[in-house]
Amino acid sequence: MNAELNALIARLPEGGTKPPQDAQPAREALQQLWSQCPAAVPELVALLQPAATGGDARVRLAVHNLATLASAAQDQERAAFCKALAATLQADHPADVKVFVIQQLQLCGGEEVSPALAALLADANLGEAAAQALLAIEAGAAAAYRQALPSANERMQLVLVQNLGMLRDTEALALVRPLVASEDQQLRLTAAATLGRIGNSIADANTLLALARREQGYAQGKAVDACFDLAERLGELGKDAERRQLLGELASLGKGNYVSQAAERQLAATK
Amino acid sequence: MAALPRKVNRRRFLQTTAAASSVFGTFTIVPRHVLGQGQVPPSETFGGALIGVGGRGPGTYSEMCKGLNVKKLADCDVKFGDRADQKTVYTDFRRVLDRQDIDLIAIATPPHWHALISIAAAQAGKDVLCEKPMTRTLGEGRAVANAFERYNRVFQVGTFGRFGAYGNEQARLTHKIMRSGLLPKCEGVVIQRGGVKVRQWSGDPETKLAEVPPNLDWDLYCGPSPLKPFTPSRFGGSHRKWWDYDNGGLGDMGQHKFDPINWTWGKDDTSPVEIEVHAPPAHPEVTGMWGWVKLKYADGLTIVMDSGEWGEPFAELQPRDIGLNDLSEADQARLKALPDPEPLLSFGEAVKQRKQAGGHAEAAHRTVTLLHLANIAIRLGRNLKYDPVKEEFVGDEEANRLAYPPLRAPWHV
């Protein structure tokens, strides 16, 4: 173990209720650690402990604050740090240590680490964290999600379908449309929300309206909201006739209630 | 930064006609609690529910009921696994929102659930009184404001200091001057020292893992936040010490402190443009100590949050009010001709009149934005620039990633 690295980590606070009296020495120690990166990254990550073991508060604070420094650095330096961090995902570390590393990449990572994260989407322990980091990074995320979706388990289906909607990935339409008919209510509502964000046709509107008519209570509210999202999207696409048709259908549902009033307000706002 | 919630223009909270409390059911349900011209008769009884029955639950529910006849129909908490009967006691808020006989929802869960339950309640046609802080993240606040705009529901955040500010003559004058447009450059300085329980709600980075209590639905508790191994301090009040669920003492208490300031200084529809911070390096998971944060608006108004609990006190500026002397004589005459600020409606009055409550979603969002901007600067340990129209940090991708973090499926805004 690099003694200098250890000495620098010892100069850091644990954080939380145990701050340093003066921030400056801690910030200087972080700068010195940063000057040893990316070479020091594997050694730093090796010091991280699984949550059940603990005792690594200073190391966690160090890795996290290095990620923060990386995010403000020149892009070449940032990318080199992130690549080194991503490379530790190939090493033999406990799963929750790797999750912590992925969560730091979620803050500072760029396209240089997308392939490494995409490769983890099928991993039972790391897939969800990798998907969230990719969503923050964006670059390469949608293609990776689309590739992973057909073979994903139930949990990851939810994650991937939701995240495709967050990215407004229109290339996912063919994958998402059938899932609105899923027997799993969570999946079909998640797919509906995504279709509301990426749909582009009156056929999509009819799919969502049919779901809104079928569902009850909380689920109906979610399906209706997807319809309103799609109406906005149709407007953004310049498909005003389709948008008005969808809003007209929403306005006719439950005359006088808050949903029809919401639709009528949107129709009136663009007359 | 992926998929920001859509921005809305100035809030248009319409007072039109009546509004129903159910979605469509058979598509013909007539609003139960709203009759005639949108007025509610004094004898009308509302169905009420409390979601999140912890320390703040009873108080939040009581606030919701003020001035209204409310019959409590449901209590809901993720820790009610041993007593949920799906009739009056629930563990899953979605089953509460399923009920068409419930009109009003009081939310007193930990903050990481505030936005999602508020939005789902609006989508289900309910009015909401939500405990402070309004949200855990910046992006969630915009989504709540958009949802209540879309469905024209009543939202009030569970802090009421702005009602007191309205009752203060000097605060009303400040508000009127700030909103008049007669003061192009504001030299006002507000310094808030202490009172946000920074040490009390700072976390211990070394905590022991434990078995999940048998009555607790831990997965549902974590909800939109990452699913982490259970440790007792993540639950039951000390959730405030974890970034996953709240934002420390500033996040938790700040809405009380800064909401009256936000109203007084007329900032219910905008946010600061510069954030300057003095804080030690932050821990990634638990909240911690900080010194001060200075937030400056485009018009020059400066708000300083001085924790009074770490580092040297903020000494760069002194507090400065504004008054009639900041205006020319001609502008003083113009100001006099303008209408005084409209009274702020309580939640109960807003529900009865179908109008906007004093602490409505857009205003609550702008106040909690102050806390989010400050906390993100504290976490990053660097000064930031912010665009209050786009609601994005300028030139700082990591800050935006903290402002709009991905939520855990199926939860999203």
pLDDT in tens, A66-95: 999 999 999 999 999 999 999 999 999 999
Of A20, A52, A71, the CB nearest to B280: A20
Interface check A82 vs B, CB under 8 A: no
Q: In chain B, whose CA is at the least distance from the CA of A29?
A: B281
Helix (H, G, I), strand (E, B) or coil at A56: coil
Q: In chain A, whose CA is at the least distance from the CA of B149?
A: A262
Q: Which residues contact B153 (CB under 8 A, 6 or more apart)?
A: A258, B19, B121, B122, B125, B126, B127, B128, B147
Q: In 10 A of CB B89, how many CB atoms?
A: 15
DSSP B211: P
The pLDDT value recorded for residue B41 is 56
Rounded (5°) CA angle A237-A241-A246: 90
Q: Which residue of A258, A260, A270 is the best one to mutate when testing the B interface, meaning the one whose CB has the most B CBs within 10 A?
A: A258
| Distance, CA of B309 to CA of B131 (rounded, Å) | 25
**8 Å CB contact of B281 and A65:** yes
| Distance, CA of B103 to CA of A225 (rounded, Å) | 19
Structure token pair of residue A196:
């509301």
Helix (H, G, I), strand (E, B) or coil at B158: strand
| Distance, CA of B136 to CA of B140 (rounded, Å) | 7
Burial classification of residue B26, based on how many CB atoms lie within 10 Å of its CB (0-12 exposed, 13-18 middle, 19 or more buried)? exposed
Chain B: give the shortest CA distance to residue A36, in Å.
18
The pLDDT value recorded for residue A89 is 98
Maximum CA extent, chain A: 74
**8 Å CB contact of B25 and A254:** yes
Q: Which residues of A touch B401 (CB under 8 A)?
A: 106-107, 136
Cβ(B157)–Cβ(B130) below 8 Å? yes
Q: Which residues of B touch A105 (CB under 8 A)?
A: none
How long, in residues, is chain B? 413
| Distance, CA of A81 to CA of A38 (rounded, Å) | 5
Cβ(B114)–Cβ(B365) below 8 Å? no
Chain A: give the shortest CA distance to residue B265, in Å.
31
Of A57, A159, A216, the CB nearest to B409: A159
Of B29, B150, B280, the CB nearest to A26: B280
**8 Å CB contact of A168 and B124:** no
The pLDDT value recorded for residue A255 is 73
Q: Which residues of A touch B398 (CB under 8 A)?
A: 68, 71-72, 107-108
Q: Which residues of chain B are under the pLDDT cut of 50?
A: 2-38
Q: Which residues contact B390 (CB under 8 A, 6 or more apart)?
A: B7
The pLDDT value recorded for residue B33 is 43
Interface confidence: ipTM more than 0.85: yes
Cα dist. B211→A95, A178, B208 in Å?
19, 40, 10
Chain A: give the shortest CA distance to residue B79, in Å.
21
| Distance, CA of B283 to CA of B244 (rounded, Å) | 12
Long-range contacts of B311-316 (CB under 8 A, 24+ apart): B311/A22, B311/A23, B311/B278, B311/B279, B311/B280, B313/B193, B314/B191, B314/B193, B314/B278
| Distance, CA of B52 to CA of B129 (rounded, Å) | 12
Interface check A197 vs B, CB under 8 A: yes
| Distance, CA of B109 to CA of B240 (rounded, Å) | 11
Contact residues, A window 51-70, toward B, CB-based 8 Å cutoff: 51-52, 54-55, 57, 60-61, 63-65, 68
**8 Å CB contact of B278 and A23:** yes
Of B3, B199, B228, the CB nearest to A168: B3
Interface check A194 vs B, CB under 8 A: no
Structure token pair of residue A181:
């008919």
Q: Which residues of A touch B408 (CB under 8 A)?
A: 128, 132, 159
Helices (H), A109-153: 114-118, 127-137, 141-148
The pLDDT value recorded for residue A1 is 60
Q: Which residues of chain A are under the pLDDT cut of 70?
A: 1, 271
- In this structure, whether the domain defined by B163-202+245-340+360-403 belongs to CATH 1.20.950 is answered with no
List chain B domain ranges: 163-202+245-340+360-403
| Distance, CA of A70 to CA of A86 (rounded, Å) | 14
